[in-house]
Amino acid sequence: MSDRTDLEPADLLENNRRWAAGKLAADADYFNRLQHIQQPRYLWIGCSDSRVPANTIVGLRPGEIFVHRNIANVVPHSDLNALSVIQYAVEVLRVRHILVVGHYGCGGVKAALEGTDLGEIDNWLAHIKDVWREHYDAVMALPEAERADRLAELNVIAQVQNVARTSMVQKAWAEGRSLSVHGWIYSLADGRIRDLDVTIAGCTDLHAVFRIGSDCRD
């Protein structure tokens, strides 16, 4: 592979020109169709890390997955950005699955564990530290080299809970719609995604504390 680190923005525009031309050559109606239809079945909530591109690693094409990414795939209860994405995906696009996807070797998780002063981002990483605090003894019982990857998994599990606790997801369940929230983790080392088996598919999977409305009973 040639050295791509010195690509300029103009080179990216040239790449784009060739990509669009290639698409049209294969299918003259390609963009016309995409322009009018967006019906993804999935919402991906993942890390901003450049090595974890959503569409690519699950083999989906443009139009097939709605994507939200931030540092260390965090879904804080009152983050207007994440909540807006979830509302649009659930209520307008009517996705059937929300995939919370963390990854091993996550820089955000490592930074939270190291506790170094990074400036404003420390306030964002505090969400990861909440998870670490909750599982402090279990994480610290591991060899140091394994702690970040375990915390990355625990963070996914916590964010699956946070997604399921939102009013939009619970409203979809109250309306009887099929909507599942999954927790996955991606390995940079082998390119594989592992299912953490923490899927939540209904309000009775939530602790009573977080249930909204009177429709949800065990």
Mark 96-125 with x for binding to Co ion (rule: CB under 5 A) and - for no binding: ----------x-------------------
The residue among 47 and 156 lying less far from Co ion, judged by its C-beta, is: 47
What strands, in cross-sheet order, belong to the sheet with 42-47?
65-70, 42-47, 97-103, 180-186, 193-195
Q: Is 49 in the site for Co ion (CB under 5 A)?
A: yes
Identify which range of 10-18, 43-51, 130-138, 198-206 contacts Co ion by CB under 5 A. 43-51
Among residue numbers 165 through 184, which ones bind Co ion (CB under 5 A)? Answer: none
For the CB of residue 53, give the shortest distance to Co ion in the complex, in Å. 12
131 binds Co ion (CB under 5 A): no
**One residue of 43, 45, 47, 111 binding Co ion per CB under 5 A:** 47
Residue 128 engages Co ion in binding (rule: CB under 5 A): no
Q: Which residues are catalytic?
A: 47, 49, 51, 103, 106
| Bridge-based pairing state of the strands 65-70 and 193-195 | unpaired
Residue with Cβ nearer Co ion (38 or 48): 48
Task: Give residues 53-72 in contact with Co ion (rule: CB under 5 A).
Answer: none
Binding site for Co ion (CB under 5 A): 47, 49, 106
